[in-house]
Each structure stands twice: as C-alpha cells, then as structure tokens.
A and B are shown apart, each in its own frame.
Chain A
C-alpha cells in the first residue's frame, strides 16, 4: 500500500495567514492526488484534484502543487470558514489511500 504522510498533523493559524500543508507519498503517485476539506460532522469535500486542478466552486485562495512523491496544499489567506481538517488522497495505485489528516485550528 502507498502510505501518505501529512505534515503537520495540527496547525494553529490566524485569519489572514498563509497556510501550507504537505503530503508525502511512500512511492510515486504521478499527479493522481486529491485534497479534501472536512468539517466536524460533515462529509469531506474535494478542493483540488490531479494535484493542482481547483474543483469548480472552490475559492481561488486554495491551490495545490507537486507530483511524484511530494505535494502541497496552500491557503493563501486563511478565512474563518477554512478552519477544518484536510486530507490528501492518492488515486494512482490500489488500494486508494488517504493521508492521516491535518487539523487547522484557530490560534
């Protein structure tokens, strides 16, 4: 199985901060990586797919980059509604796997 390691696991930030989350894969996944946002009691929602494609309707402050084994999700200016948990997912190899999550909390 491909292991996805997200860092940090927890992040304290303030509104307006630039936030970067990293996802490292144990082997190459090409560009077949997606990012999701999950709020408490809700299902995850896709933000980014194929590493850098912004899902329709997602604010442009979210961006993704990377390929192979290292990927990043960046929030250019954190908004109140962005405090949530973020997961990466690889869809290059079976079984499909998710990272352990990064919880973005209010500083």
Chain B
C-alpha cells in the first residue's frame, strides 16, 4: 500500500525559505507512471495546487507561486521536496504531498502544518 509522509520544520520566519520533504513508501517513485504534487490549505480555507514533478525532473508550477517555488526529486531516497522562498504569513497553511495520476490525486500524505511567524 502506497503511503506518503511529509516532513519539515513547522515554524519558518518571514522572508526565509520553507523546505518540506515527502517520503514515498510502497511504490517506486522512479517508475515513470506518476507525477508527484504539492498542495496547500490555509486554515479553514480551500485547496491550492502548488506544483508537480515528473521523473526526469519535469516540473509545472502554479503561476501564482512560480517565482518562489522549486520542486525536486531524489529517486534514490524515494523523496520529493518543496522549497518556497521569501515566505510571508500568507504562506501559513497545511501542506500536503500527493501521488498525482495526471487526472486525480491519490493517495495524499497526512499533511504538515507550517506557520510563518517571527
């Protein structure tokens, strides 16, 4: 059974870089069968897609975040990562990673709360 688990600091200072990692178990991240996506959800609000990566490091980003976002993949560690630069309070959210089938996301990680505050 495929499982995804987000990890990273829960508190980031304004203007610094948010870095999260998603570890995939029970599936081959290098199979070429899937994309791997990041999504976030501010408290009490809806879902925002951040971006996706495909094996070979092909990436697509939400234009609203594109200038600040980098998604990378480490197939040897079965991990993909999110870096978001120059964070502000507006980046405070629960961040999810998900296996991206192209036309749906499944499964999702449990999510990790990231708070931007000094």
Judge whether A11 is part of the interface by a CB distance below 8 angstroms.
Answer: no
Q: Which residues of A contact B46 (CB under 8 A)?
A: 87, 98-101
Judge whether A50 is part of the interface by a CB distance below 8 angstroms.
Answer: yes
Nearest CB to that of B65 among chain A residues?
A: A95
Count of chain A residues near B, Cβ 8 A: 23
Q: Contacts A43-B111, A95-B64; is A49 near B47 (CB within 8 Å)?
A: no
Q: How many residue pairs between the two chains, A and B, have CB atoms under 8 Å in the bound complex?
A: 59
State whether B60 touches A34 (Cβ < 8 A): no
CB of A91, distance to nearest CB on chain B (Å): 5
Q: Which residues of A contact B27 (CB under 8 A)?
A: none
Judge whether A96 is part of the interface by a CB distance below 8 angstroms.
Answer: yes
Q: At the interface, is chain A mostly helix, strand, loop or mixed?
A: loop
CB of B35, distance to nearest CB on chain A (Å): 10
Binds A, one of B14-22, B77-85, B100-108: B100-108
Complex Cα spacing A42 to B94, Å? 10
CB of B16, distance to nearest CB on chain A (Å): 25
Judge whether A17 is part of the interface by a CB distance below 8 angstroms.
Answer: no
CB of B83, distance to nearest CB on chain A (Å): 18
Q: Chain B 40-62 against A: per-residue CB contact (8 Å), 1 yes, 0 no?
A: 00000011110010000000111
Report which A residues bind B (CB closer than 8 A): 1, 32, 34, 36, 42-46, 49-50, 55, 87, 89, 91, 94-101
A-B pairs with beta carbons under 8 Å apart, 15 shown: A34-B104, A43-B98, A43-B109, A44-B108, A45-B107, A49-B103, A91-B102, A94-B60, A95-B49, A95-B62, A96-B37, A96-B52, A98-B49, A100-B46, A101-B46
